[in-house]
Amino acid sequence: MKNYKVILAYKGTAYHGFQRQSNANTIQQEVEEALGRLLGENVTIYGCSRTDAGVHAREFCFNFHTENPIPVKGLLFGCNAQLPDDIALLSAEQAPDDFHARFCAKGKEYEYIVHNSAVKNPFYSDSAYRTARHIDEKMLDSEAKAFVGEHDFRAFCSADCTKENTTRIISRFDVRREGELVIFTVAGNGFLYNMVRIMVGTLLTISEGKLPCGCIPSLLESRDRTLAGRTAPPQGLYLNRVFYAEGEYMQSEHSAP
């Protein structure tokens, strides 16, 4: 039996997240059914992460096992022919038997895109979060650096988070502007439920003057979710990359929006 490592991209607008659910359409369901039709067998895929409804991925990794002798090229093109246009396999390769997309991951990189404009743009309606309030990206870039390092992120995860250990390492958090788009890029060794969206929401709350500049260290120390900013909407969030080499997330650089 072969173990395949696959890189997937998807636009999450029409889906209720990655993980299969009994009452909603998900990315996992679409991919498993497409692979099942192609390979003529029941397929279970193991994703590197769970993403919420409306969240997107540029490079999402999953693995699966099959007894079908299909070559990699046939797997890639055959499955893409079965998938809807908002989901695509980007690459596939045979992996060691013990490779697992989730448990072997060493880190991840996310981007959050804000369309900073008073005028709406239909092309960004489900691929970025829009705010008309002017964002000082240089100020927020400076504020975001307070997240870098090893911290307890209890104040920056959902109340539904079940993790006992909420300490994570953030290797970089940058904010930059490209025209009307303000792009938040964050990499680390792991992320809690809604952590990126709450960090971005807190930075936006600072930008709006509803939280003071320099407050992030005290929010981290408080471990109190109610003191941090709002949870930014899902449509601006992208899983950018997953890192499997030890320490690779420490050297991650900007990717295109």
Catalytic residues: 52
Task: Please tell me the total number of residues recorded for the chain in this structure.
Answer: 257
Nearest to 102 by CA among 55, 49, 57, 166: 49
DSSP 97: T
Quote the tokens at residue 84. Answer: 């809807």
Q: Residue 189: left (phi > 0), alpha (psi -120 to 50), or beta?
A: alpha
Quote the tokens at residue 240. Answer: 């950018």
DSSP string, 56-101: EEEEEEEEEEE-----HHHHHHHHHHHS-TTEEEEEEEEE-TT--T
Contacts of 182 (CB under 8 A, 6+ apart): 113, 114, 116, 135, 137, 140, 175, 176
